[in-house]
Amino acid sequence: MNIEYLNIMPEIANKYDIALEAGEKVVFTALLKTFGTEKDSVLGNNGSKFTLTNQRIIADNGLGTWTVDIAKDISECKKVEYKHLFGLIKGVYFSVNLNKEVAFHQGTRTLTGYHFYFDKEDTTMFEEITNNL
């Protein structure tokens, strides 16, 4: 991935008050429709907060924060289009695959990626970012 693209993006307001590390800046934020594991086990519902910095992805479901280091942890990020209800309803999510398995829920569950579901406007903006990575 070309993470240098994130470094040249303009900084935006840190509206979810994420604690930033040295040299880190917020480049995209959104309220998620939902997010879950790579198998769509729900981790956060409508209103979960998503922040993309030039170094990390942070998703906050109100009970916990899920953080991924872009350079170290992500092996792939892609847009996925799907259909359900006999093909009548179309949807889009972004699949973020990790390069290692992560344990959560006190070590009783694991995941190897995330699915992020944005509203239509935020999907367009996030897609533009991922196309440049």
Q: Which domains does the chain have, with CATH numbers?
A: 4-131 (2.30.29.30)
Tokens describing residue 93? 């999510």
pTM, two decimals, is 0.93
Cα–Cα dist 55/19, whole Å: 12
Cα–Cα dist 131/114, whole Å: 18
Type of residue numbered 112:
T
Mean of the pLDDT values across residues 66-86?
91
For residue 84, the model assigns a pLDDT of: 77
For residue 83, the model assigns a pLDDT of: 85
Mean of the pLDDT values across residues 18-25?
96
For residue 22, the model assigns a pLDDT of: 95
pLDDT of residue 133 exceeding 90 = no
